[in-house]
Amino acid sequence: MTLRINAEAPNFTAETTEGTINFHEWIGNGWAVLFSHPKDFTPVCTTELGYMAKLKPEFDKRNAKIIGLSVDPVANHAKWAQDIAETQGTAPNYPMIGDTDLAVAKLYNMLPAEIEGGSDGRTAADNATVRTVFIIGPDKRIKLMISYPMTTGRNFDEILRVLDSLQLTAKHRVATPVNWQRGDKVIIAGSVSDEEARTIYPDGWEAPRPYLRLVPQPQ
């Protein structure tokens, strides 16, 4: 299955460290971040899951739930949580999916390519999910997709930054420029005419080019 930005996020039912969930029902009316890691009891993953636990209050402020996944069983996730707490200072405080039959991994294209063959015949014993991140909106549509190599730990601060941008642009007809951070100037969307923009932004805007109209971030 080919996943694309603005396509509906595939729904699924899965076992997690917080019980069985239906993904779309679990998301509810908020946002969600689904991220996979290759394997429990591995070094890079340990650092990632601990850091994501520390960031959870920031996602909570943004009405965004976070949920992890690997092909390891839920029981392994629970045992590993102690190691994460002891080495990173915080245990996972969000659900972790135990995708032992690879159903979700296949549904979300989280498995690495093989030289021969496809996903048929894969088992949890000889496969691991790559470091994939999805941001899913309240409309259950995919807003962001990123895949990282197994040897590179993710920058979850960047995921939070993108979430801020997505939520801002969902509310206001603006875009965010390169390296944008909360509070920085934003770009008036191209779909907004100058005439309409004068109504929305009566104080005007900065325009180094007619197509590049910068204004303070709307509240």
- Two tokens at 172? 């206001």
**Band of the pLDDT at 126, cuts 50, 70, 90?**
low
Q: What is the CATH number of domain 172-215?
A: 3.30.1020.10
Q: For residue range 140-183, what is the model confidence (pLDDT) as tens digits?
A: 999 999 999 888 999 999 999 999 999 999 999 999 999 999 99
Q: Which of 66, 58, 80 is nearest to 36 (CA)?
A: 66
Choosing from 40, 45, 72, 99, the catalytic residue is 45
For the segment 127-147, the average pLDDT, to the nearest whole number, is 94
Mean pLDDT of the chain: 93
Q: What percent of the chain has pLDDT over 70?
A: 93
d(CA 99, CA 12): 11
Q: Give the closest residue to 12 by CA, choosing from 125, 135, 99, 77.
A: 99
Provide the β-strand partners of residue 97: 16, 69
What is the predicted pLDDT for the residue at 113? 74
Active site residue 40: no
CA 26 distance to own-chain centroid: 15
Delimiting residues of CATH 3.40.30.10 domain(s) in the chain: 13-153
Q: Is 45 considered catalytic here?
A: yes
Distance from the Cα of residue 127 to its chain's centroid: 22
**Residues 51, 54, 56, CA angle at the centre, nearest 5°?**
110
Instruction: State both tokens at 105.
Output: 């991994």
pLDDT at 115: 38
Task: Write out the residue limits of the CATH 3.30.1020.10 domain(s) in the chain.
Answer: 172-215
d(CA 135, CA 147): 12
* CATH code of the region 13-153: 3.40.30.10
Indicate whether 121 pLDDT > 70: no
Distance CA 181, CA 185 (A): 9
- The catalytically annotated residue of 139, 157, 184, 194 is 139
Q: According to the model, what pLDDT value does residue 128 have?
A: 82
The tens digit of pLDDT for each residue in 63-120 reads 999 999 999 999 999 999 999 999 999 999 999 999 999 999 999 999 887 634 444 5
Nearest to 64 by CA among 74, 48, 52: 52
**0.85 exceeded by the pTM?**
yes
